[in-house]
Chains A and B, each alone.
Chain A
């Protein structure tokens, strides 16, 4: 690997990327605009500012690109490393690798950075907020800062080690993602009990005895209403043409109607 790029050049690329990695987000090429703008300081130096060459190469880099933005730091570092070889096929290889990596890395990023940490720390922040304390959010943000800066550093690691950095660890990353989903599912199970709050409003009377339906059902399975609600929504999300946005509107209307007619408390 040629070493024309200094640490300063790399940092310029990364700083551009951090502020534009999702913009201008669009439905045609998604995140590719910020990507091209970000690689430019490095590309200009690698190809000695040859504008015709750069314009041609950017046509490839403008192609569809979408990944988890933090994981994008790693892909960016590895792609700049490939381009810096000045191999005639470098751009083709870089864009091919970018396309090959964006899906799997987005999956890992979503599972760990968005789902696992965000759900656990978001729940802690929310519960402490309901008790009138901001401390939970401070904890959540402290953890996020650590992870965020780790990904900042991983850009440089990816540049130094190239593709091998990701490929040699692909099995291990897959295992970490699977393990993270175990943590995620446990927490989701706990949240179904503690955070969802669906109670039936119907009471049943046998002569003198009045029994609220909800107490009866909760004695069979605790938080019965929560379990049924989550199961129904899970089933509903699997229907054709259903989106999470539509589902939220359906649940909102169902909640208002069912509580108005007294089925739900």
Chain B
């Protein structure tokens, strides 16, 4: 169902991106859209790729690995979702049915890579101890390459030996599961936003959520428009804080004269 060229190109893309993704960290904003676009290009249907990428990108908004934690890998989910959405002709529904489970399982690969990191760091420490300082790079770069290979394996498996099973599963998916995954696609973005709410100072500035919510739901403003209005609000808060931190020094100046 996949030509060898397609398998090779998709795997090469996943591998190359993952090498860059961890440390260099370019192309990380809206990364699922990029994966959908490139995978769609390889599979010959950019529009479907962008739809799967856009849907999974929205699901992943706010879900970030802050402080080294492991989170679902919506990038890996997009690649798998896109190849099956296009190859089976099942469109975005097939994309979600394969992409969401893969994204969720993707967490395990992150944990596995970070656990394996112990082996690499001790090898690197040994090099330093033996004064082989330049050999340290083998283990530092090596881990990146190891991780990328680990991330590419599931893609290779589902596109070769696993493709028959997945296609059969997709063709025999019960309607309630398809409906359920569509509902999940609408619900999962809420997790990201709840994580952001936990992370942001909601006690002090939670009221700005009402501002954004009202602007979107009552005024129907676009994301760009709301960001611009919110920028003005943020700027005024910043000015207020700068003034506030300078003010006490002036106003308390003469207090101790008496």
Residues of A participating in the B interface, judged by any CB pair closer than 8 Å:
16, 18-30, 32-34, 36-37, 40, 44, 51-52, 54-55, 58-59, 62, 66, 69-70, 106, 110-111, 114-115, 117-130, 132-134, 136-137, 140-141, 143-145, 148, 171-172, 175-176, 178-199, 222-223, 226-227, 229-230, 233-234, 236-238, 243-245, 247-249, 251-252, 254-260, 264-265
Contacts and interface: CB of A to CB of B under 8 A. Distances in A.
Given A126-B33, A184-B196, A192-B212, 7 more contacts: A23-B120, A36-B136, A115-B62, A128-B54, A129-B50, A141-B26, A175-B241
Given A251-B191, A252-B184, A37 B124 contact: yes
Contact of B224 (A124, A198, A259, A264): A124
Contact of A182 (B27, B199, B208, B245): B208
- Most chain-A CB neighbours within 10 Å: which of B22, B32, B186, B237? B186
Contact of B55 (A70, A130, A251): A130
Interface-centre pick from A134, A176, A251 (highest chain B CB count, 10 A): A134
Contacts of B33: 125-126, 129, 134, 136-137, 140
What does DSSP make chain A's interface, helix, strand, loop or mixed? Answer: helix
Chain B interface, DSSP helix/strand/loop, else mixed:
helix
A229 B186 CA distance: 10
A130 B198 contact: no
A183 B233 contact: yes
A148 B29 CA distance: 12
Nearest 10 Cβ contacts at the A-B interface: A189-B212, A125-B30, A26-B117, A197-B186, A256-B180, A129-B54, A24-B120, A24-B143, A189-B209, A186-B230
A127 B224 CA distance: 11
Contact of B195 (A18, A59, A244, A249): A244
Given A28-B121, A34-B140, A62 B195 contact: no
A64 to B, nearest CB: 11
Contacts of B200: 111, 115, 181, 184-185, 188
A26 B114 CA distance: 5
B71 A148 contact: no
Contact of A25 (B22, B25, B29, B131): B22
A33 B180 contact: no
A175 B30 contact: no
A186 B191 contact: no
B29 A122 contact: yes
Interface of B: 22-30, 32-34, 36-37, 46-47, 50-51, 53-55, 57-58, 60-64, 66-72, 100, 104, 107, 113-118, 120-121, 124-125, 128-129, 131, 133-134, 136-137, 139-144, 147, 176-177, 179-191, 193-202, 204-206, 208-218, 221, 223-224, 226-227, 229-231, 233-235, 237-238, 241-242, 245
A172 B234 CA distance: 14
A19 B36 CA distance: 25
A185 B206 contact: yes
B61 A123 contact: yes
A25 B250 CA distance: 48
Contacts of A19: 23-24, 141, 144
Nearest to B49: A129
Nearest to B57: A126
B136 A222 contact: no
6 contacts: A33-B120, A126-B54, A140-B29, A185-B208, A198-B186, A259-B182
B210 A260 contact: no
Contacts of A176: 238
Given A106-B67, A237-B195, A175 B238 contact: yes
